[in-house]
Structure 1
Amino acid sequence: MTPAFPPHAVARLRTARLTRSTRPFLARGGPHGERCAGCRLILSHCFCEFRTIVPSNAGICLLMAEHETLKPSNTGWLIADVIPETTAFGWARTTVEPALLALLADPQWQPYVVFPGEFVAPERVVEKLIDELSTEAGSQNGENAMGKRPLFILLDATWPEARKIFSKSPYLNQFPVLSLAPEQMSRYRLRRSRRDDHLCTSEVAALCLALAGDTLAAQTLEAYLDVFTDHYLRAKQQIKVDVEDELHQRLRQLSL
C-alpha cells in the first residue's frame, strides 16, 4: 500500500538515480520482484501504514553513496520517513551540489559531521553540542553556535565508502566532528558488519536526535527501525507479520 505522503528527500534522490540508470534496477523479492514504492518491501509485508512523522528541532543531512538509495535495506530512507527536517544528497568525488553548500551555509544551522573521533584530528572532535560545551566552560567560545539548530551530517554508506567520503569532501573540513559513544551495540540485522558496534544510519540519527533533546523523535525512529526490520526479515523468510506484537505496539504508543 503506497502511503498518501509526498516523496521525501531520499525518495526523490532514488528517483533521480533510477532515471540515470541505463538498465532497470530489479530488487529481489516476490514472484516478480514487486515492491511497494512507499516502503520498498514486498507487497505482502508493506509497512506503510505504520509510517509516523515527528517534528524535530534538529535537522538530518544525508550524504549518500552512489547505490545506497537503491538498496531496500537502506535506513536513511527511514529517517526521511519520520523526520521532516531531512535532506539528502548524492555524494561525488569531483562535484558538490550547490543546494548542499547553501544548506551548510544557512545561518539557522550549526552543522556537525558525525564520524568516529578516533579517525579525526583531536581538535575537531566534540562529544556534545557546541552550546552545551560553551555553557559548561563558562566561556564565549561557542557564541556563534548559540541559538542555532543542530544539523547532523550523516555519511550514509558502507564503512569503507564513508571513510572515503569523509576524507575527500573538503567542504566538510570547517565543521566540528561529533563522535558518538553508544552504550549499546547495534541492533541492525539487515546487513552484516565486521563489528557489532557499527551502527546503521538510522541508529546514528536516533542517537543524534536524543543528544539534541528531540527525545520523542529519537524514540520513534528507533521503534520505526525495529518494525521495519521485523517486516523485512519476515518477508525474506516468508513469515506472516504479527502487527499486535510488542514492536508494533511500542510504535503505536509513541505515535499517540
Structure 2
Amino acid sequence: MTTTNPRRATCAACLRAESACICRFATPLASRVELLVLQHPLEVHNAKNSARLLHLCLPSSRLLVGETFPAPELDAVLHADRRMPLLLYPQLPGEAALGLPSPPCIEPALLERPDKLRLVLLDATWRKSRKMLYVNPSLQRLPRLALQDLPPSAYRIRKAHAPDQLSSLEAAAHALIQLEHRLEHYAPLFDAFDAFVEQQSQRFRA
C-alpha cells in the first residue's frame, strides 16, 4: 500500500519513496527478546537510517518516535508484560558529572531467560542519544547491556568516528545474538542490511 503527496508516492510500511522502498529486503524473524526502539524524530526520514528496516524484520518489535517521553507512559512500555528492560547503551565517562546515576547491574539469572527480556535501543546520533538519556530519567534507571567482540561495521554510507560504531540494525542484531546465542537465526538481519546499504550507495552515486 502506498500513500501519495503532491511530490511523490510513499510506501506506508517503510515511509520511503516508492523508488527507494526497502520492504523487499526484510525477512520477518521471531525473537525471544522483545525489541523496543526509541527513535529520535530527526531519524524518521533520514535515508541512511536502518531502524525502520530493523522494525520490519522483527514484527514483534515496537518503535516509538520522540526525544522526551512522558514518564508514566514510558515506564508502562518499558515494563509491559513484566519483562525486564535492558538499555543497549555503554556507560560513558562523565555521566556522573552530568548528574546521571550509575545504572544498576544486570542480574545474571535474567540473562538465562531471554523470553523475559526487553532490549531498549536508542535510535539517534551519539549526541542526540545522550540527550535522550539525560531527559528521560526512566532510561537512566535501566540496567545496561554492553556489546562484546564486535566486528567492524558495514555501515559505509554513514560516517562513524570508530570502526565499532554500528548502525542501529547492526547493534540490535549483535545484542540479540549475544542474549539469545542464535547466530544463524539472525543472519537474515545482516543480509537485509547489506542489501539496504548497497541500495543507498547506488542512489548516492547516481
Q: Which of residues 74, 79, 86 in structure 2 aligns to 1:112?
A: 86
The TM-score normalised by the length of structure 2 is 0.80
Tell me, in whole angstroms, the C-alpha distance in 1 between the residues paired with 2:149 and 2:139: 23
Write out per-residue CA displacement over residues 228-256 of structure 1, whole angstroms, 9 at most, x where no aligned residue: 11111112223xxxxxxxxxxxxxxxxxx
> 1:200: Cα distance to partner?
0.9
The TM-score normalised by the length of structure 1 is 0.66
CA 1:146 to 1:191, structure 2 compared with 1: closer, same or farther past 3 Å?
closer
How large is the RMSD of aligned CA atoms in angstroms?
Answer: 3.1
One-letter amino acid matched to 1:156: D
Tell me, in whole angstroms, the C-alpha distance in 2 between the residues paired with 1:103 and 1:231: 34
Residue 237 in 1 paired to residue 205 in 2? yes
Write out per-residue CA displacement over residues 166-219 of structure 1, whole angstroms, 9 at most, x where no aligned residue: 122111233201111343121111211222221111111001110122434522
Alignment identity in percent? 25
> 1:48: Cα distance to partner?
3.0
Corresponding position of 1:87: 62
CA 1:54 to 1:195, structure 2 compared with 1: closer, same or farther past 3 Å?
same
Corresponding position of 1:48: 23
Q: Which of residues 142, 149, 158 in structure 1 aligns to 2:116?
A: 149
Tell me, in whole angstroms, the C-alpha distance in 2 between the residues paired with 1:146 and 1:235: 42
* 3-state SS in 2 of match to 1:191: coil
**What is the correspondence of 1:175-190 to structure 2 with a 5 Å cutoff?**
175-190=142-157
Tell me, in whole angstroms, the C-alpha distance in 1 between the residues paired with 2:88 and 2:172: 9
**What is the correspondence of 1:131-142 to structure 2 with a 5 Å cutoff?**
133-134=108-109
> 1:102: Cα distance to partner?
1.5
Tell me, in whole angstroms, the C-alpha distance in 2 between the residues paired with 1:53 and 1:148: 18
Q: Which of residues 128, 134, 144 in structure 2 aligns to 1:167?
A: 134
Write out per-residue CA displacement over residues 137-164 of structure 1, whole angstroms, 9 at most, x where no aligned residue: xxxxx59x95752211111000111111
Corresponding position of 1:62: 37
Tell me, in whole angstroms, the C-alpha distance in 2 between the residues paired with 1:146 and 1:79: 23
Tell me, in whole angstroms, the C-alpha distance in 1 between the residues paired with 2:141 and 2:48: 32
Q: How many residues align?
A: 198
CA 1:216 to 1:125, structure 2 compared with 1: closer, same or farther past 3 Å?
farther
Specify every segment of 5 or more residues in structure 2 that has no aligned partner in the other structure, as ranges: none
* 3-state SS in 2 of match to 1:189: coil
Corresponding position of 2:190: 222
